[in-house]
Structure 1
Amino acid sequence: MWIADRRRVLHALLASGAAVISGYGTAAAAPPDQTALPLQPQGPADQAMLEEAVSAVLVTRSANGTGIALTFDDGPGPETDDILDILAATRVKAVFCVVGRHVQQYPQLVRRIVDEGHLVGNHSWDHDHVKWKQGTTAVEYERDLLRASDAINDAVPGVEIPFFRAPFGAWGANNIAARIGAGMGMTPLSWSRSLSDWAPLTTEEVIYQRVTAAQPGEVVLLHDADDRGVQERQRTVWASRRAIPAMQRSGRTFAWPKRNPQTVATPPGGVT
């Protein structure tokens, strides 16, 4: 379970000499003295140690085997129930990369996601456009991800969070956000096929065509909500309701995204 105490987190990162801190954020990883480390790194030397303490891992953008990985970003939101209904009807499992503040608004949807066998990914606390597009410090990335993970665990206590997807795919200078996420035991997850279903001018038919063009081994990026909670996602619902059965009829299957072995154990296999 994630621990919100940032002193534990920073101490674990700064004190560890391991490439990956598999116990990051857990009680087992906490040092005996949790008060010795100040809440913020005290200058460039501490900042450098923090960045070196976490793993420099590759960001994954492929599915396991020959399956296609469906991922839904920016939720949960009003259309999440519709997407879950479609996945239940077609017996497909997906990854929902959720925004922390939306989790607080719709905790029952996160519980449904987990109860129905889907995986949850950390997609930051609030999808802040300035912070993620322009970049920030290792400490700020860590604070943001930990806050989102805490919200997820408040909704579904003890749930595994196997993936982290950076808003806009912006991993920061030298992939520092990806390394922070990996240090928390989450595989940094990108995509190989973006459908731009969030763009107002992308029609439902275009979304359908782009989904059905996905090839085995790809990670497909869709959206079940708007990062700012303003736009609806009914075009994505319409396209998904038609595309997934069409893909199944053509013989294509679905799977989880690939996990980086440097983070934590591989989750149960995704099946159609």
Structure 2
Amino acid sequence: MENFRNLLERDDVTVFDGAMGTMLYAKGVYINRSYDELNLTNPDLVREVHEEYIRAGAEIVETNTYGATAHKLQQYGLEGSLRLINIAAARIAREAAGDRVFVAGAVGPLGLRIEPYGPTSFDEAKDMFKEQIAALLDGGVDLFALETFSDISEMRQAMRAVRELCDLPIIAQMTILPDGNTTFGTTPEVFTARLDEWGADVIGLNCGVGPAIVLTGLEKMRGVTNKKLAAQPNAGLPRDVQGRQFYMCSPEYMA
């Protein structure tokens, strides 16, 4: 399979998979359980989702590990299974991907506040990320997708963790609000410059908002970096219709 960094030298668009949690929920998994644990308890279901995305044209699939850090797993009494969960996730994704599709180790925020907003130090945060990243690395991922971060300092610690362990490519994705900035008020221009400086291979936006707001953010980001950009928006913003949440964005609009 082609080296991912060689792929970035081309002008082609590379297609990611979609949401894992949404698909698992649609297949009957209750929302109040750990979706990461399914890598151990129902690997066939996780593999099925990967395979469906690959059949739909995905060229990169993300491991089912968005919440597989110690702090988040602790909420389900699963912190002792962190390594097993992450290794299993990487292997499941690899089984589905074969040598046709890249496997990205998905790493989300820790779910706690780090300095100066909370008691967790930068080094403590880095070490927490490192535990998950080491397991994903042992499971055989091709690259890392650090995603849905609002705090640029927390993203920095995740990137440090990757670089202390390996030189695999990093896709670093922040999430923004409808006003175009992160929850902490950081503008796309500011966080893009930092992520470029810190060595991200791809810089992007994911989750949070729909295609229009993401597109505006990407236009601002392009002004401060020559790195490849990634866009993984939500299907618009949900509307409440008689107590149910609907995403009104069509496939045609997303395209």
TM-score, scaled to structure 1:
0.40
- Kindly indicate which of the two structures has a greater share of residues assigned to strand: 2
Larger RCO, structure (CA 8 Å, separation 6 or more): 1
User: In terms of Rg, which structure is larger?
Assistant: 1
TM-score (norm 2): 0.42
